[in-house]
Amino acid sequence: MADRRALPLALTMGEPAGIGPDVTLAAWMRRGEAGLPPFHVVGDADLYRRRAALLGLDVTIRTVRADETVATFSSALPVVAVGSEVVGEPGRPARRDTAAVVASIEAAVEEVRTGRAAAVVTNPIHKSALYDAGFAHPGHTEFLGDLAGRFAVPVDGRPWRPVMMLAGPQLKTVPITVHVALARAIHELTDDLIVETARIVEADLARRFGLSRPRLVLAGLNPHAGEDGTMGREEIEVMRPAVERLRAEGIDIRGPLPADTLFHARARASYDVALCPTHDQALIPVKTIAFDETVNITLGLPFVRTSPDHGTALDIVGTGTADPGSLIAALRMAAAMSGAA
């Protein structure tokens, strides 16, 4: 097997009409001062040439093979061709481009599977544009779970199950239910789902982050964590039994605890990651604390995947105001987690 420190990162194109190209170009231009590992974009080189011209950036774009990335990275932004041109204008997604967006993700995963890249970093996709074109997955996380099937089946014979984690300098959170309506999320929150999610989080914090005994905490669903059942019984009937099962397995987890007092500085010092019942409950605090430094990480996969924590920001494409900080953090995190750093 190739030395992972010699392998580049594979960066997906994301939505061509969004700020993905803007922040990719900006990150490459800061590669030296930011200490970025070599990466290549899986996409359309002409898209980056057009966007660089719009932004007034003097950037050389070069189409390469994956194994030419490291030698090219210092002098040009390397692009591995995805096989089709994109036509969407800045801020205006084109239905025709969705095939290239999906192909970019698939190709990046395949590069990792075949040992040509160390990890996958994904630029943001525009979900509604993909849905209109028939994309069958709620988002990146679920699609990557399906693509993981290309790898060897896990030892226990079960499919790989992706778990989203948001990681910033001061806080890590995991939404137990993800891209579903709030009313549906409450019904999907079962003790089995909590247990399965916590097991994956605990294992990957040990495997990917080197924590010998990760400290987990579970946020309550209802105000005041249900106030002993007077404000909801999910904590009593679903969440406490899940915590008891996990603690019986030797996993260090506390809760459910009131979410409104779980994210101040003193509370954060008492755990490594907070598991939250719903999407926004997990994402709001971590993005509020460090929006430009937070990274979206997918746990539970046979490969490393990170992403910036922002969306496509169609309203600021081409203005030069998109901040590459989160993408830079995602690239650094992917290198550290995969051993490419």
Q: pLDDT tens for residues 158-177?
A: 678 899 999 999 999 999 99
Phi-psi region of 210 (alpha: psi -120 to 50; beta: other; left: phi over 0): left
Domain that holds residue 273: 163-300
Predicted TM-score of the model (pTM) = 0.90
Percentage with pLDDT > 70 across the chain: 96
Identify whether residues 52 and 123 lie together within a single domain.
yes
Identify whether residues 197 and 260 lie together within a single domain.
yes
Identify whether residues 71 and 196 lie together within a single domain.
no
Q: pLDDT tens for residues 259-285?
A: 999 999 999 999 999 999 999 999 999
Identify whether residues 193 and 319 lie together within a single domain.
no
Identify whether residues 185 and 279 lie together within a single domain.
yes
pLDDT at 7 over 50: yes
**What mean pLDDT comes out for the span 228-234?**
91
Between β-strands 77-81 and 39-43, what pairing exists: parallel, antiparallel or unpaired? parallel
Identify whether residues 93 and 226 lie together within a single domain.
no
pLDDT in the model for residue 4: 58
Identify whether residues 37 and 146 lie together within a single domain.
yes
Q: pLDDT tens for residues 283-336?
A: 999 999 998 889 999 999 999 999 998 899 999 999 999 999 999 999 999 999
pLDDT at 138 over 90: no
Identify whether residues 10 and 49 lie together within a single domain.
yes
- How far apart CA 28 and CA 141 sit, in angstroms, is 25
Q: What is the CATH classification number for the domain harbouring 211?
A: 3.40.718.10
Neighbours of 294 (CB within 10 A): 27
How many domains does the structure of the chain reveal?
2
Percentage with pLDDT > 90 across the chain: 77
89/243: higher pLDDT:
243
Question: What pLDDT band is residue 126 in, cutting at 50, 70 and 90?
Answer: confident
Identify whether residues 142 and 87 lie together within a single domain.
yes
Backbone angles phi and psi of 316, in degrees to 5:
-120, 10
